[in-house]
Structure 1
């Protein structure tokens, strides 16, 4: 039986039943009584239909709050189908809400900003990254026109002119952003923002690294080539002068070797193919060796003392020695004759700490954030005098990062500096003496 028969067959049967009942009354009590009975049956049936229509109207006005009414006859099937449609609609709404939640969660985890606008640029939704990039707030700005919220002239021109084939590159709130606008459906648009700041910074660092490395290598090469040209052009040079030239070339060659060694060390530390190989680092013998090297570098010009009152630790001995040696040798190089240097290894509140304090020339606060950049020099002329490669603190930073540690720098011009390497407590090995 098809769905239409479900409705008209019971209706025909009820109509035949009423006619039969009216005919029976007319047969026994006369035609007038039969007509009266038929009228009563018709009025009762019509009233019942009107009652169910009223109940249906109440439910249609508030389907979410009113209970689905029960029915009789054909109304049973009508209400059953409406109930099924309501359940299907609720299920679809629930699935749609679940997919929308998943979509928003996925968009919220994207590294790029996503803004959904309608066709007249009113904000409908945005993820947290776009709030950070563009200064928006979904809670505060929803329903407002995006061009009223972001008042950058280039951004407004890009949005209004509709030239979306090429992305827009702007600097907004100190960030270099790449912005794409993508039409979405008929009445929506998606704005995607990508933060280019870090990539630009890394690219600038790469260019600076190449330029600085070339410069640092060119200087000793120029000296060596100059002396070699003199040797070729003046074979009659006396032995003392020739020996002096050879000594200077050897110094410059050593300088190039140190620079190349530091560059290779940095490359290895930064390489993902070079995982940290840990062992128990015996701190006291390592620091005693570093102390002797520092005194040799100082040549008795400084008062250098050391305290070791901390545990051994898990880490890489060669990397730790490289980092600690760089910190100590820097203190020696940048402390004037007669100054003092204090080296200490302690068990701090949050883990082992390696501290180097000096009474050196000190560093202006504006330079502190950039000290660990490759080839960054506070005083270039002073750095050349001390024969540093400009990579020492960069090496220190990467060694500490590989060990989950951090570097804290405090300094005052003319009073000295303190470099403190802070290691996680879980690296401490208290059982090894």
Structure 2
């Protein structure tokens, strides 16, 4: 990062003081005051001796008076030299303290998570920290140039020229960052631009709003169905018995759907509220047995409409068995939902590098690359109509992500539209159990 010696001089160094208690006088300041008092006393003594010597010489021109004057002046001169050197040393120490304080302020500003750009007269960039360089996508060479030559955002330029800094300015950078911009302007010629990256906060806020909207939608549909059928049954004899029976089947189906959604929400909430990595309840999981059970359930879910194969090495995993089972079942059930009848699903558990990996590969509809980074978001659906038709809650991969986070694993996704997908859970060597000494 580029610094200039006088970049913050005179205006902004004191801003870092903030509001604080008045500092107690230091020993060096007391010494400096004492030296100044001694200098004043010596100056007074010099004047007195000079006046006394001139008066005595005028009354009686004696050689002794001359030598007294010479000796007195020499002693005062030597003492003054000593005091002058002491004053110079104190001034040097004071200047060093100011330089050190200024350097500390600069280091503090440089380490702030916010971007800080200090402008001088004529909008000239006098100092900028590394975070501001990243926020504005500029290089250290811009120091000394006009801010408007380095940053070409026209909306930001108009806002700065208006000088109405009571409200913050919101801008989006070329790198698709959301920045919150504030300005401190101590006078008409200087200003400090402070930028804060709120991209992640905006993303979380958007996810929270989407979550509330999606939960509301997911619950409203089955509740509407159930309440509508119940209204019809309030009129006995209005519907044939077979229609009433069908309505009750549909109500049971919708109630089951709501229960499944609430179970997934409770599980996801439980995973999020636990520690990211907690081995207190970890155990050795016999993966061949666990995967045989999951594949059996997958075949039952498929109603034998898919070919589901299992390739499993005799390798055990250390982790939370219930959570791992839930994660694997989510991957298998997703593969069943999104693979056409007659398709093939392969579950593989084997050593991989220094750890082990569990993969679920299908010959389903596949996923476009642009959707893959968002698949683990709650309720994120590639095709909303198709997804809801399959009966999923939209929380499965979010659950998988949190399970892996708690078990030191990571999720890898590969997919080709029209050909199929592979979801792989990768675990490090520390999570692989070996009974060999």
1:3 aligns with 2:39: yes
The more displaced of 318-327 and 273-282 is: 273-282
Structure 2 CA distance for aligned equivalents of residues 279 and 145 of structure 1: 59
Structure 1 residue 75: Cα displacement: 5.6
* Deviation readout 1:316-337 (Å, 9 max, x if unpaired): 2222222111111111111112
Structure 1 residue 268: Cα displacement: 2.2
> Per the alignment, in what secondary structure is the counterpart of residue 321 of structure 1?
helix
The residue that corresponds to 1:280 in the other structure is: 283
Structure 1 residue 238: Cα displacement: 4.2
Contact 1:352–1:428 (CA under 8 A) maintained in structure 2: yes
Structure 1 residue 344: Cα displacement: 1.6
The residue that corresponds to 1:51 in the other structure is: none
Structure 2 CA distance for aligned equivalents of residues 345 and 261 of structure 1: 27
Contact 1:371–1:377 (CA under 8 A) maintained in structure 2: yes
The residue that corresponds to 2:310 in the other structure is: 306
* Deviation readout 1:120-160 (Å, 9 max, x if unpaired): 322222222211111233x3111122122212122112222
Structure 2 CA distance for aligned equivalents of residues 410 and 404 of structure 1: 20
Paired residues in the alignment total 385
Contact 1:310–1:347 (CA under 8 A) maintained in structure 2: no
Which residue of 381, 389, 394 maps to 2:393? 389
* Deviation readout 1:99-136 (Å, 9 max, x if unpaired): 33332333233222112222432222222221111123
The residue that corresponds to 1:116 in the other structure is: 118
Structure 1 residue 303: Cα displacement: 1.8
> Per the alignment, in what secondary structure is the counterpart of residue 185 of structure 2?
strand
Compared CA separation, residues 355 and 95, structure 1 to 2 (3 A): farther
Work out which structure has the larger RCO, using CA pairs closer than 8 Å and 6 or more positions apart in sequence: 2
Matches within 5 A, 1:208-219: 208-219=210-221
TM-score by length of 2: 0.78
Structure 2 CA distance for aligned equivalents of residues 186 and 357 of structure 1: 65
1:351 aligns with 2:352: no
Contact 1:356–1:420 (CA under 8 A) maintained in structure 2: yes
> Per the alignment, in what secondary structure is the counterpart of residue 182 of structure 2?
strand
Contact 1:278–1:314 (CA under 8 A) maintained in structure 2: no
The residue that corresponds to 2:377 in the other structure is: 373
The more displaced of 116-125 and 340-349 is: 116-125
Structure 2 CA distance for aligned equivalents of residues 343 and 77 of structure 1: 94
Structure 1 CA distance for aligned equivalents of residues 269 and 320 of structure 2: 16
1:233 aligns with 2:269: no
Which residue of 85, 102, 105 maps to 2:104? 102
Compared CA separation, residues 9 and 225, structure 1 to 2 (3 A): closer
Structure 1 CA distance for aligned equivalents of residues 79 and 100 of structure 2: 31
RMSD of aligned Cα (Å): 3.2
Contact 2:46–2:76 (CA under 8 A) maintained in structure 1: no
Contact 2:276–2:406 (CA under 8 A) maintained in structure 1: no
Contact 1:312–1:432 (CA under 8 A) maintained in structure 2: no
> Per the alignment, in what secondary structure is the counterpart of residue 120 of structure 1?
helix
Structure 1 CA distance for aligned equivalents of residues 88 and 318 of structure 2: 65
Structure 1 CA distance for aligned equivalents of residues 184 and 46 of structure 2: 56
Structure 1 residue 210: Cα displacement: 1.4
* Deviation readout 1:14-52 (Å, 9 max, x if unpaired): x99xx9xx988xxxxxxxxxxxxx9xx9xxx9xxxxxxx
Compared CA separation, residues 109 and 286, structure 1 to 2 (3 A): farther
Contact 2:275–2:406 (CA under 8 A) maintained in structure 1: no
Compared CA separation, residues 345 and 92, structure 1 to 2 (3 A): farther
Structure with the greater alpha carbon radius of gyration? 1
Structure 1 CA distance for aligned equivalents of residues 354 and 410 of structure 2: 12
Q: Which runs of 5 or more residues in structure 1 are unaligned?
A: 25-37, 46-71
The residue that corresponds to 1:254 in the other structure is: 256
Compared CA separation, residues 110 and 366, structure 1 to 2 (3 A): same
Q: Which runs of 5 or more residues in structure 2 are unaligned?
A: 1-36
Structure 1 CA distance for aligned equivalents of residues 385 and 407 of structure 2: 33
> Per the alignment, in what secondary structure is the counterpart of residue 233 of structure 1?
coil
Which residue of 324, 330, 334 maps to 2:334? 330
Structure 1 residue 264: Cα displacement: 1.8
Structure 2 CA distance for aligned equivalents of residues 100 and 406 of structure 1: 46
> Per the alignment, in what secondary structure is the counterpart of residue 372 of structure 1?
coil
The residue that corresponds to 1:69 in the other structure is: none
1:417 aligns with 2:421: yes
Matches within 5 A, 1:131-146: 131-137=133-139, 139-146=140-147
Compared CA separation, residues 167 and 198, structure 1 to 2 (3 A): same
Contact 2:365–2:418 (CA under 8 A) maintained in structure 1: yes
Structure 1 CA distance for aligned equivalents of residues 46 and 367 of structure 2: 99
Which residue of 188, 191, 204 maps to 1:189? 191
